[in-house]
Structure 1
């Protein structure tokens, strides 16, 4: 039986560890335990960043920084991390504004009986992206885990 690709296993494990750590960081922020945090997008640390950083570090440690695979993983990682803290975060901020706007419409519609406004049952998800520090936290976590995985593979 063939073993799973160590780079893939390293990246997936880093994602899982980062997602698990979100429970602890949520507890520290709010004082409440919430195991649902393991399935959320956004939050500290970024699992996207952890996964791509772990893969790039794993490859760089095994192949060297000048190898094409390292370049591909690094550029892919930079794009993913930029997207996580840029576009996805802004999408979450827009969702927050839309939810607030809907709440305001609901409040106003009570004052005007002829104004027909049907409120949605579920609000838009606002926690889609990451703050830069969350991306950095995930990248550092991933780099550490990628390095450890590469060094332990050779033993």
Structure 2
């Protein structure tokens, strides 16, 4: 019963389709550019378009289109989406740049070749263009799901 309700929830479906399509686009871009399969990209963060943005705007758009843009839950979702997108383009992007600098200092500028540390993940945030592309994708997905 719970599973049936979740599978018929257009708001959740819109968010999940937005996320999936964004991840599929990233996977396809990588495949074309590098001519190799990397299945980890289906769950990886960073890259074009932002799946975080597509996910939250897919939810927000479905709520807005179905319940109205003035509904309190839509307003809550808009705030939630803005926080997620700000974090993706701001805080997480800055953390990625710091990881890039630390990796350079530790692994490229260091003469000690007996390092056991792993490289830090550098691609964890998004550029504003990647966030905007994800948001547009999520909005389009929400429109298609609701209408």
Give yes or no for TM over 0.5.
yes
Displacement of 1:103 after TM fit? 2.0
1: distance between equivalents of 2:63 and 2:43?
Answer: 27
Q: Distance in 2 between matches of 1:95 and 1:120?
A: 17
Aligned twin of 2:125 = 129
Cα displacement (A) at 1:9:
1.7
User: Are 1:25 and 2:40 an aligned pair?
Assistant: no
Runs ≥4 residues deviating over 6 A: none
Match in the other structure for 1:68: 72
CA distance in 1 between partners of 2:83 and 2:118 (Å): 31
1:121 shift after superposition: 4.1
Contact kept, 8 Å, 1:85 with 1:130, in 2: the verdict is: yes
Q: Offset at 1:32? A: 2.5
**How far apart in 2 are the matches of 1:105 and 1:119?**
12
Structure 1 length-normalised TM? 0.84
Q: 2:11 aligns with which of 7, 13, 16?
A: 7
Q: TM-score, normalised by structure 2?
A: 0.88
The Cα RMSD (Å) is 1.7
Number of residues of Structure 1 aligned to a counterpart in Structure 2: 142
Task: Say whether the 8 Å CA contact 1:57–1:146 is kept in structure 2.
Answer: yes
Q: Which residue matches 1:34?
A: 37
CA drift of 1:123 comes to 0.4
1-side partners of 2:44 and 2:108: how far apart? 27
Larger radius of gyration between Structure 1 and Structure 2: 1
Query: Where does the alignment leave 5 or more consecutive residues of structure 1 unmatched?
Result: 111-117
Tell me the secondary structure at the aligned position of residue 110 of structure 2. Answer: helix
Deviation (angstroms), 1:104: 4.3
